[in-house]
Structure 1
Amino acid sequence: MSERLVVIGADAAGMSAASQARRLKDRDALEIVAFERGGFSSYSACGIPYWVGGQVAERDELIARTPDEHRERDIDLRMRTEVTELDVPGKRVRARDLRSGEEYWTAYDKLVIATGARPVRPELPGIDAPGVHGVQTLDDGQALLDTLAATEGRRAVVVGAGYIGVEMAEALVQRGYRVTVVNRGQEPMSTLDPDMGRLVHEAMSGMGIEMVDDAEVTGIRTGDDKRVRAVATADAEYPADVVVLGIGVRPQTDLARAAGLPLGAQGGLLTDLSMRVRGHADIWAGGDCVEVRDLVAGNERHIALGTHANKHGQVIGSNVGGDYATFPGVVGTAVSKVCDLEIARTGLREKDARAAGLQYVTATIESTSRAGYFPGAALMTVKMLAERRTGRLLGVQIVGHEGAAKRVDVAAVALTARMTVEQLTALDLGYAPPFSPVWDPVLVAARKAVTAVRKAG
């Protein structure tokens, strides 16, 4: 007798799960029904800033698999259909067709929740005015591009200076806008320590982007036409023809909360290693709506990244399909760029280490991406955290130019393996003048961290 799998959300985690389950079980053994409230499936949300900025020419280049392609693989994908209620005891979901308004219940044997995250949209005067955009989905990206095409002015304000904020600042610069970034933090990129964030601030200012830190937005000012005209803080107003919210995202877990499913401190669903929702044998969850294990600090974290979402989906699909897989956790690796500046981090910041009760030392070095004499060698700064007593690597942050960001992958592997900084210095990394100095910058930082550990006793 056939079972029915219901999937809520048709992007990375949801459709990876559905596709993997279908590979393992045919239609006679497993019926798959998926609901998506938006107009697109299986797309790269991480590519949206580069589409908005023009580096990616066409929207469809970001789409890995269309709804029709999923349907050809015997997945009943229902677009523009929003799930409005979970009946966990009755093992069914209520859905509403957003075009016709029709509502109906669908029973499930197994359920996958992949509802993603939503942009933080603070309750401020004017926040819903025309010209104010959050950017999380392809629909959001299209709405922003439509606004840019219809706007005569060339002034843009980005509210927030995290990954989304700096990437959207670059996109708007590429579009020829004068960009102001308003950030309530001490420095941009709160995922970095402030001393590394200062490097980002200085580089963005050097690109002509106006950086406003330590500033709380108090409202969005509108004109007689009700459209946005400025962003207000306690001390100033910044003219704007378009506003992009880059404050971050939160797990989209309203359905799960209403159904009584377990949520973590940051509002994400809690799962076991198989991505099964804790305490519910027939419900799985993955992607931006879950919290995952931090392998360095040992706690649960919400990290919204497509890399994790796709892995979650593969794990879920394998388990739903009768195979077995696990997702052990993350070390918090992320990379970004703004114009020619590359930004990377993995592991813990100083405040993360303090919150985890760890004693630590730091080491910061400057180096180059290639041998100093080789053409194109670019500067980078590497900061490393190590546990004071054991020398265990705790975190790495890198800010630099071409060739800087992906060096963080070495540190990510070392963190996963729980290596010490002394062990890190002995890694046999590739060397040739076009690719690295004799001592790679990550190894130089590790050597300095070893010295700091020894001095700390």
Structure 2
Amino acid sequence: MGNSTLVIIGGDAAGMSAASKVRREQSDREIIVFEKSNYTSYSACGIPYFISETVKSADELVVRSPEIFRNKFNIDVRTMHLVKSVDTTAKRIKVLDKIKNEEFWQPYDQLLIATGGKPYCPSNIHGHNAANAFGVSTLKSGINIENFIEEKKPKKAVIIGAGYIGLEMAEALLIRGLKVTMINRAKQVMTTLDPDMGELISVAVRNLGVKLYCEEELKSFEIKGSLITAVVTDKQEIATDMVVFGMGTTPNTEFLKDSGIELGVRNAIRVNSQMQTNIKDVWAAGDCTETLNLVSHKHIHIALGTVANKTGLVAGASIAGEKAAFPGAVGTAVCKICSYEVARTGLLEKELKELGIDYVTTSTKSKTRAHYYPNAKDITVKLIAEKNSGRLLGGQIIGEEGAAKRIDVLATALTHNLTIQNIIDLDLSYAPPFSPVWDPVQTAARKLLKDI
């Protein structure tokens, strides 16, 4: 590749994983990264824990600063640069220097798009950009929330949406002493769980003191000056000092229209297993791309730090001329709200119905440790398997300390097409402080085996 120019749009997980990989393989390569914020390579997943003050400073969430990339790795990172459009015919991108407020065209030989997701924000509702309304997707947004809490001392908050971010932000704000109300359009919190498991989380959230209203829709905001003073739903009006959007993210791909780059599910960029797009010399990775679901064999959009880092590494290897492939994912995710841990992997019942797959399911309640060992906590494990073959199709776990990471056993089983019998046969570890003699995952498998 010699002195050809690699341009990367986006300086977080996927973009900087790729940049670092290319640099390791090609020491003389020109690499330019455009990042719209002030920060590179940070843990967006850590933002709620910074807001709760579990993590003391925002700097702790930064893996590597722009200065380190520039000085140590010779990667030309340009922060506060927003890419406006991509011209794949002329092989150039239009960039806005946000500090100078000047636009320019940057040519490339190879291009990687790693623009991530943007928080879904009800932009059709007046006041969505008020000074006390916050999305939670960038380190800057996390710092803005922290500064607002420190300076304005809000007493009450309304969180709109009850997915991972909504729940983690509820925990952070409870820890900071705020009264928290959650509004959710769906019937249950966490639509990535089946309704029966989502209901357990709804109960847990209410037990923590959160006012949770499901099947309610945001209609408007009451505004005074530059601040939201109340959230108006289709059922009530709720006074508030701040609003947090926890309605999930959408792929950040709007700037690609007219580029000829093919988009797929939810307007995520369509890529092959080498993370190449349909346009020669253009790759994409991270939350802005589609992912193959290894259980359904359908393309999905999944916004997870694990997938972003892996796809960034594969894109970097592919750009550097190595043989590398990203096989796909099974959709494993965990989250915590105060003492409750939530985990999920594979497919939901509604997805299996859509696919026309005949399945059986079970939920079992057991303990995280031997029942006689101090601090053994409740854990509920739900397993879903194919009716006749017994192949595992999905799993969900809810419990207290020691519950969530057990999902990794199920993720491994899904990735390798294991059956319920295979899970029962696994030689899992046992000692009273860690597990009952039959691990909760295997207890659930034994119960489900009867129905297969």
Q: Give me the TM-score of the superposition, normalised by structure 2.
A: 0.98
- Unpaired runs of 5+ residues, structure 2, are none
Counterpart in 1 of 2:242? Answer: 242
- What is the CA-CA distance between 1:451 and the residue it aligns to? 1.0
- What is the CA-CA distance between 1:437 and the residue it aligns to? 0.3
- 1:379 is matched by which residue type in structure 2? D
* Equivalent residues of 1:296, 1:331 under 8 A apart: yes
Q: How does 1:229-268 map onto structure 2 within 5 Å?
A: 229-268=229-268
Counterpart in 2 of 1:204? Answer: 205
Q: How does 1:30-429 map onto structure 2 within 5 Å?
A: 30-72=29-71, 73-122=73-122, 123-223=124-224, 225-277=225-277, 279-429=278-428
For the residue of structure 2 that corresponds to 1:288, the secondary structure is helix
Deviations 1:175-223 (A, max 9, x none): 1000011111111111101110111011111111111111111111123
- 1:442 is matched by which residue type in structure 2? V
Partner Cα separation in structure 2 for residue 153 and residue 323 of structure 1: 52
- What is the CA-CA distance between 1:126 and the residue it aligns to? 2.4
- 2:218 is matched by which residue type in structure 1? V
Number of matched residues? 449
Partner Cα separation in structure 2 for residue 171 and residue 153 of structure 1: 13
Partner Cα separation in structure 1 for residue 175 and residue 17 of structure 2: 33
* Equivalent residues of 2:341, 2:403 under 8 A apart: yes
- What is the CA-CA distance between 1:376 and the residue it aligns to? 1.2
- 2:102 is matched by which residue type in structure 1? E
Report the RMSD for the aligned CA atoms in angstroms.
1.0
Partner Cα separation in structure 2 for residue 222 and residue 228 of structure 1: 5
* Equivalent residues of 1:219, 1:231 under 8 A apart: yes
Partner Cα separation in structure 1 for residue 150 and residue 19 of structure 2: 37
For the residue of structure 1 that corresponds to 2:198, the secondary structure is helix
Deviating runs (4+, > 3 A) in structure 1? none
* Equivalent residues of 1:292, 1:301 under 8 A apart: yes
Partner Cα separation in structure 2 for residue 135 and residue 66 of structure 1: 20
- 1:434 is matched by which residue type in structure 2? P
* Equivalent residues of 1:118, 1:251 under 8 A apart: yes
- What is the CA-CA distance between 1:260 and the residue it aligns to? 2.1
Deviations 1:108-127 (A, max 9, x none): 11110000100011122322
* Equivalent residues of 1:24, 1:322 under 8 A apart: no
Partner Cα separation in structure 1 for residue 283 and residue 181 of structure 2: 41
- What is the CA-CA distance between 1:265 and the residue it aligns to? 2.4
- What is the CA-CA distance between 1:151 and the residue it aligns to? 2.1
For the residue of structure 2 that corresponds to 1:315, the secondary structure is helix
Partner Cα separation in structure 2 for residue 95 and residue 88 of structure 1: 14
* Equivalent residues of 1:53, 1:171 under 8 A apart: yes
Partner Cα separation in structure 1 for residue 207 and residue 178 of structure 2: 15
- What is the CA-CA distance between 1:153 and the residue it aligns to? 3.5
Partner Cα separation in structure 1 for residue 94 and residue 66 of structure 2: 21
* Equivalent residues of 1:256, 1:269 under 8 A apart: no
Partner Cα separation in structure 2 for residue 152 and residue 348 of structure 1: 42
- What is the CA-CA distance between 1:74 and the residue it aligns to? 1.0
Deviations 1:100-145 (A, max 9, x none): 0222211111110000100011122322222111110011111111
Deviations 1:264-289 (A, max 9, x none): 12110010011111x22311100110
- 1:21 is matched by which residue type in structure 2? V
* Equivalent residues of 2:184, 2:217 under 8 A apart: yes
Q: Which moved more, 1:97-106 or 1:63-72?
A: 97-106
Partner Cα separation in structure 2 for residue 106 and residue 407 of structure 1: 47
For the residue of structure 2 that corresponds to 1:266, the secondary structure is helix
- 2:116 is matched by which residue type in structure 1? G
* Equivalent residues of 1:257, 1:263 under 8 A apart: no
Counterpart in 2 of 1:20? Answer: 21
- 1:260 is matched by which residue type in structure 2? G
Partner Cα separation in structure 1 for residue 324 and residue 233 of structure 2: 49
* Equivalent residues of 1:270, 1:290 under 8 A apart: yes
Deviations 1:225-263 (A, max 9, x none): 341111111111112101100000000011223312111
Q: Give me the TM-score of the superposition, normalised by structure 1.
A: 0.97
- 1:104 is matched by which residue type in structure 2? F
Deviations 1:335-388 (A, max 9, x none): 000001000000011111112221111110001110000011110111110011
* Equivalent residues of 2:88, 2:279 under 8 A apart: no
Partner Cα separation in structure 2 for residue 201 and residue 373 of structure 1: 29
- What is the CA-CA distance between 1:152 and the residue it aligns to? 3.8
Partner Cα separation in structure 1 for residue 30 and residue 226 of structure 2: 49
For the residue of structure 2 that corresponds to 1:181, the secondary structure is strand
For the residue of structure 1 that corresponds to 2:295, the secondary structure is coil
- 2:344 is matched by which residue type in structure 1? R
- 2:369 is matched by which residue type in structure 1? R
For the residue of structure 2 that corresponds to 1:297, the secondary structure is coil
Counterpart in 2 of 1:6? Answer: 7
